[in-house]
Amino acid sequence: MVLGYDPKSLSIEFPLVEIEKAFDEVGECIFYRHIVPRSVWKFQEWLQIGEEKKMTKACKVFDQFLYSCIATKRQELNECNKSSGDDLLSAIMMMGEEKGKMVHDDKFLRDAVFNLFVAGRDPITSALTWFFWLVATHPLVEAKILEEIKKVFGAIDGEKRKILVKEDVRKLVYLHGAICESLRLYPAVPIERKQSLKCDTLPSGHRVNPNTIILFFTYAMGRFEEIWGKDCLEFKPERWISEKGGTIRVPSYKFFSFNAGPRTCMGKDLSFIQMKMVASTILRNYHIQVVENHPTTPAHSTVLFMKHGLKVMITKREF
Ligand code: HEM
């Protein structure tokens, strides 16, 4: 989606993809920087030891990969009369085009693509993992999702469409509720960090000094009884559905999983479309059963991964 490049990481042999590994290592190092004093990681960075050595190496691998993708894409776009690809890199390159010339330099494109990679890859992975786990462990929810999917797929006149498209998934109100509910309990970004540039007063009345780091816990906010009611710990997609059967719009300062205000996630709508397409296609075709006694604890990370992944058995469903 970002680069128009498939690393084949989902091949049946689950190959170790070097750039995926490098990207994971960058994530680990960023988390490390949040838990040790700044002076410690800065010193390690200077000496090039420990996590910081890993960070430098991983960034190099990742940069080499990104620059080679940019070069290939540039060539493709020049050769194909500027109409190649519906990926985000092509879109950014074309946006920066003036009088037939691409104006964005490689460094700009590298930064833009890196940003989209950081923002877009892991949150979707995390969100879908917790979602499938919750659905697999709540058979009533699974049954309701299937009923809805059946209705929507059934309505596609005689067409044997295998994957629901953007317009179809908008009709999946219950699935939308289940995904919101899953993101409320397991927000992909469990901790948010902000830092004040100058003296300020928060809406709560607290004064903050310049350079104060403020951390807030979306994971906890999604589970506050004062905000979500007595059943705050239950997985209830119905919470998001109005009496008339439509989606209840919840203010983003309450449902904080995509951040709120000027720095709201730019991929929010895209994420819902993507997650609903993936979820409806998989659930329509397969029944998912979590492997017995498989531990499902969150990992210590900037993104809420499952520490041991999610081990499941899948069986083909006859629809
Ligand atoms: C379930 C999926 C996703 C979740 C839960 C999510 C959540 C978030 C959150 C919480 C932030 C704010 C981070 C911060 O300021 O500390 C954010 C920012 C952002 N997200 Fe997402 N995200 C998701 C998917 C995506 C996707 C697929 C894209 C694009 C391909 C994307 C693009 C962005 C961008 C560009 C920002 C930075 C916005 C800014 O700072 O102005 N996100 N996201």
Taking the domains of the chain in order of start, what are their residue ranges? 1-104, 123-316
By alpha-carbon position, which residue is closest to atom 17 of ligand 1? 265
Q: Give CA 312 to chain center in angstroms.
A: 21
User: How far apart are the C-alpha atoms of 94 and 132, rounded to whole Å?
Assistant: 37
Of 224 and 76, the one with more pLDDT: 224
- Cβ of 182 closer than 6 Å to ligand 1, yes or no, is no
At residue 96 the predicted structure's pLDDT band, cuts being 50, 70 and 90, is: low
Task: Give the residue among 285, 291, 289, 309 at the shortest CA–CA distance from 299.
Answer: 309
- The tokens for 165 are 């498209």
By alpha-carbon position, which residue is closest to atom 39 of ligand 1? 263
- Cβ of 90 closer than 6 Å to ligand 1, yes or no, is no
Residue 158 pLDDT exceeds 80:
no
Which residues are part of a known binding site for heme?
A: 265
Ligand 1 centre distance from Cα of residue 273 (Å): 14
Sign of CA dihedral 97, 99, 100, 106: negative
Q: Which atom of ligand 1 is nearest to the CA of 189?
A: 10
Residue 88 pLDDT exceeds 90:
no
Residue 76 amino acid letter = E
> Could you tell me the fold of the domain covering 123-316?
Cytochrome p450 (1.10.630)
Q: What is the pTM of this model?
A: 0.89
Per-residue confidence (pLDDT) for residue 11, from 0 to 100: 82
Ligand 1 centre distance from Cα of residue 161 (Å): 30
Which residues are part of a known binding site?
A: 265
By alpha-carbon position, which residue is closest to atom 27 of ligand 1? 120
Q: Which atom of ligand 1 is nearest to the CA of 275?
A: 1
At residue 150 the predicted structure's pLDDT band, cuts being 50, 70 and 90, is: confident
Per-residue confidence (pLDDT) for residue 271, from 0 to 100: 94
Ligand 1 centre distance from Cα of residue 82 (Å): 29
Of the listed ranges 143-147, 161-165, 187-191, 264-268, the least confidently predicted one is 161-165
Q: Which atom of ligand 1 is nearest to the CA of 218?
A: 10
Residue 82 pLDDT exceeds 60:
no
Q: What is the mean pLDDT of the chain?
A: 89
Ligand 1 centre distance from Cα of residue 149 (Å): 27
User: How far apart are the C-alpha atoms of 220 and 2, rounded to whole Å?
Assistant: 31
At residue 100 the predicted structure's pLDDT band, cuts being 50, 70 and 90, is: low
**SS3 of the chain:** CCCCCCCCCCCCCCCCCHHHHHHHHHHHHHHHHHHCCHHHHHHHHHHCCHHHHHHHHHHHHHHHHHHHHHHHHHHHHHHCCCCCCCCHHHHHHHHCEECCEECCCHHHHHHHHHHHHHHHHHHHHHHHHHHHHHHHCCHHHHHHHHHHHHHHHHCCCCCCCCCCCHHHHCCCHHHHHHHHHHHHHCCCCCEEEEECCCCEECCCCCEECCCCEEEEEHHHHCCCHHHHCCCCCCCCHHHHECCCCCECCCCCCCCCCCCCHHHCCCCHHHHHHHHHHHHHHHHHHEEEEECCCCCCCECCCCCCCECCCCCEEEEECCC
By alpha-carbon position, which residue is closest to atom 41 of ligand 1? 263
At residue 83 the predicted structure's pLDDT band, cuts being 50, 70 and 90, is: low
192 phi/psi in degrees, rounded to 5: -110, 145
Residue-wise pLDDT for 187-246, tens only, equals 999 998 888 999 999 888 999 999 998 888 999 999 999 999 999 999 999 999 999 999
Pocket probe mutation, ligand 1, options 113, 185, 265, 304, max atoms within 8 Å of Cβ: 265
Ligand 1 centre distance from Cα of residue 258 (Å): 6
User: How far apart are the C-alpha atoms of 124 and 276, rounded to whole Å?
Assistant: 11
